[in-house]
Chains A and B, each alone.
Chain A
Amino acid sequence: MTAATLFGLCAAVLIGVGLYGLIVNPHPLRKILAFNLVSSGVFLLFGAIARRGAAAGMGGDPVPQALLITGIVVAFSATALAVALLLRLFDVSGSVTLSSDAPAKSGDDIGAA
């Protein structure tokens, strides 16, 4: 087994564990963590692909590395936005459940801003 295969398998495990967490954990913060686990898996896979494509004598395929950096920035901003929303939700409502999805019955309190 080459190093690239090993890393690829690790990536698959990370993605699987992350998806499981995303589905079964009801708490939003855990979902955010699970999202980060999946994205780490995807990034690791991309890294493994870069390594595998480096047979031409270079240390590694540079394109995935450049894309990876961008991907990490995007995942970071997504996490920041999600955590900010979560904190605000806790401030406003005192709880952080996602479950009450029924839109308000009365209709009076849905503002047109």
Chain B
Amino acid sequence: MLTTSGGWLLLVAVLAPFVGVLVGLALGGRGAQRVASLTLPIGLAVAGGIAWTLLQSGDSVVYLLGGWAPPLGIALRADGLSAVMMLAVAVVICGIGIYAQSDFSAPAGTAEKRAPFVFWLLLLAVWGSLNLVFVSGDLFTLYVALELLTFSGVPLVCLDGRGETLRAALRYLLFALAGSLLYLLGAVLLYGGYGTLDIPLLAERIQPEPIAWAAAALMTVGLLAKTALFPLHIWLPPAHAGAPAAASAVLSALVIKGSWFLVVRLWFDVLRGVVTLPAAQLLAGLGAAAIVVGSIVALRQERLKVLVAYSTIAQIGYLFLMFPLAFDASGHTLVHGAALTGGLLQAVSHATAKAGMFMAAGLVHAALGHDRIADLGGVARRMPVTVLTFAISGLALMGIVPSGAYLAKKLLLEAADNSGQWWWTIVLQGGAAFTAGYVVLVLTNALRRPAAAVQLVQRVSRLSEFAALALALSSLLLAFAALGPVPGDLVSNPLAPKELGATLLVLLGGMLLARGLSRRPLLGGTANDGRVRRAIVAAGTSLEQADAFLRRWPSASLALLLTAALFGWLLLARVPQ
């Protein structure tokens, strides 16, 4: 194996952000923002260049560090998966960079503050670590990349330095560290068993035997803890809801995708012959539970940013639905196919839409001085662009034609049909109604006529509003961008009766859910509710309590170990060859 042409681009993609961090640190103060603004377009161009090189050559781009080939040396590799993720991350980071220009600036003449300085450095650090996660060719480099990602993500949580957010950051750090130790333990076991950590070499040597099962279970669960898949979401709501909007967008849209990507890399490329269909069903089952619990608890929230944070928990669930659908017909191995493409599209579409949604929530908070959902009335009139952004990102998350999530859903539904796993069809179709529920809840409140005229405490910057809108729109129009690698007959006319009917059905289901579960009666509902609403609310409250119980430290860490044991046990359950 040799360095391919254009391989140096991989090195630049990883090094450019980190060089930016060092230069910004040396310049200090306002310099950090300037360095970041300079690095963002360079990184975007490099990500585009890597995707272009990959399309031209049709094969992975490889760079050997120091010219040493594995197993002695370390290789950086970018295949289609990595190139798509790198491009998506570059676009989202640039969007966030534009959005944050006004929030995190220190105009000449004012005193320099620490938060903007740190924000720009951490933004670059998150980017560099993500790129390293996407191109690393061996499991130990991936461990280092993952830790870098955690170290740059955690301080983003507590940029404002309040006790509340510091506590959230510490919880995040400690739980993530527990996860990465499990991952490292798994990697060490794999080295002990097979004498290499290079992904292609390991994939050749690995056998379904106890050491591989133990390693697979430990690594998977460790990564799930970092991704915050239900029931390991202990750290996510306070961390994502408490951070400043731009930082929440980075954490929610990008940072969790790093460890998710690593699960995909492990299952599809390293452990292909070790993982079993029952284990994949467990993974998707946790995802389905995440969708139900995350969405319902989101509907019960009083604050917009907490609602969006819980919606992230639900959306993380979607990302794991593809695993059982990606098995080949005999159910023995995972294949790179339509299901994987669907899952990847889902991730990209969530990254763009969720960044837009958090930004919109942050703008509303900045303009009103609060983000109580019940008091949002009249906001739509004062901030039409921002409310439109929220609506568009909501539609994109629901999977309305022509969003990326729609195309992803189509691909996954087809895979579910082909493999006869009808139960995932129900989850995929029903999940959209849950998403519609909390989007409808927010929009009806925002569109309501207010009792008194709305007072804006602060004017928000136009640039920020349009950056958020651009990200939301790019998620909604993703299907057009993705049509290259995907067959064209998958996207139908959005106004065709069948599609329109499906959309209306989803919205109707969402309205019913929002009406039944919201904390306050929606659309003029009366205070003394009927028996049905009382029963539904009781169910919602008990789910909320279950969620609060699972987010306590002892139960979350026990869940971590139990899930690992369950994975180990399910890996034993092989379909007879």
Binding site for B on A (CB under 8 A): 15, 19, 22-24, 26, 28, 31-32, 35, 38-39, 42, 45-46, 49, 52-53, 63-64, 67, 70-71, 74, 77-78, 81-82, 85-86, 88-89, 92-93, 97-101, 103-113
Which one of A53, A71, A88, A107 has the greatest number of beta carbons of chain B within 10 Å?
A107
CA distance A104 to B245 in the complex (A): 16
Which one of A24, A42, A97, A113 has the greatest number of beta carbons of chain B within 10 Å?
A113
CA distance A77 to B244 in the complex (A): 25
B491 CB-CB contact with A under 8 Å: no
Which one of A28, A77, A112 has the greatest number of beta carbons of chain B within 10 Å?
A112
Chain B residue with the shortest CB-CB distance to A85 = B170
B151 CB-CB contact with A under 8 Å: yes
Task: Select B178's contact among A24, A35, A45, A92, beta carbons within 8 Å.
Answer: A35
Tally A-B pairs: CB < 8 A: 148
| A53 engages B195 (CB within 8 Å) | yes
Which one of B147, B170, B306 has the greatest number of beta carbons of chain A within 10 Å?
B170
Binding site for A on B (CB under 8 A): 103-104, 115, 140, 143-144, 147, 150-151, 154-155, 158-164, 166-171, 173-174, 177-178, 181, 184-185, 188, 191-192, 195, 197, 234, 237-238, 241-242, 244-245, 247, 302-303, 305-306, 362, 365-366, 369-372, 551-554, 557-558, 561
The residues of A that contact B103 with a CB separation of less than 8 Å are 112-113
The residues of A that contact B195 with a CB separation of less than 8 Å are 53
| B163 engages A112 (CB within 8 Å) | no
The residues of B that contact A74 with a CB separation of less than 8 Å are 143-144, 147
The residues of B that contact A19 with a CB separation of less than 8 Å are 561
Interface of B, secondary structure class, is helix
The residues of B that contact A108 with a CB separation of less than 8 Å are 369-370
Interface of A, secondary structure class, is helix
A-B contact pairs, 30 of them (CB 8 A): A22-B557, A23-B558, A24-B554, A35-B174, A35-B181, A38-B181, A46-B188, A49-B188, A64-B188, A64-B191, A67-B140, A70-B140, A74-B144, A81-B155, A82-B170, A82-B174, A85-B154, A88-B158, A88-B166, A98-B171, A103-B164, A103-B303, A105-B302, A109-B164, A110-B164, A110-B242, A110-B303, A110-B365, A112-B362, A113-B103
| A113 engages B104 (CB within 8 Å) | yes
The residues of B that contact A49 with a CB separation of less than 8 Å are 188, 191-192
| A103 engages B188 (CB within 8 Å) | no
Given that A53-B195, A64-B191, A85-B170 are known contacts, is A113 also in contact with B372, CB under 8 Å in the complex? no
Known: A23-B561, A42-B188, A89-B167; 9 extra A-B contacts, CB below 8 A, are A23-B553, A23-B558, A67-B197, A81-B173, A93-B166, A101-B551, A103-B237, A112-B365, A113-B244
| B192 engages A70 (CB within 8 Å) | no
Chain A residue with the shortest CB-CB distance to B460 = A112
The residues of B that contact A85 with a CB separation of less than 8 Å are 154, 158, 166, 169-170, 173
| A45 engages B188 (CB within 8 Å) | yes
Task: Select B303's contact among A26, A101, A107, beta carbons within 8 Å.
Answer: A107
| A78 engages B188 (CB within 8 Å) | no
| A78 engages B305 (CB within 8 Å) | no
Chain A residue with the shortest CB-CB distance to B237 = A103
B122 CB to nearest A CB, Å = 12
Task: Select B238's contact among A38, A71, A103, beta carbons within 8 Å.
Answer: A103
Chain B residue with the shortest CB-CB distance to A53 = B195
Given that A26-B553, A42-B188 are known contacts, is A107 also in contact with B302, CB under 8 Å in the complex? yes
| A31 engages B151 (CB within 8 Å) | no
The residues of A that contact B366 with a CB separation of less than 8 Å are 112
| A92 engages B166 (CB within 8 Å) | yes
| A22 engages B178 (CB within 8 Å) | yes
| A103 engages B151 (CB within 8 Å) | no
| A23 engages B140 (CB within 8 Å) | no
A2 CB to nearest B CB, Å = 14
CA distance A88 to B372 in the complex (A): 29
Given that A28-B174, A82-B174 are known contacts, is A109 also in contact with B372, CB under 8 Å in the complex? no
| B188 engages A92 (CB within 8 Å) | no
| B170 engages A86 (CB within 8 Å) | yes
| A101 engages B144 (CB within 8 Å) | no
| A103 engages B163 (CB within 8 Å) | no
Chain A residue with the shortest CB-CB distance to B195 = A53
Task: Select A42's contact among B161, B185, B372, beta carbons within 8 Å.
Answer: B185
A3 CB to nearest B CB, Å = 15
CA distance A85 to B173 in the complex (A): 9
| B151 engages A110 (CB within 8 Å) | no
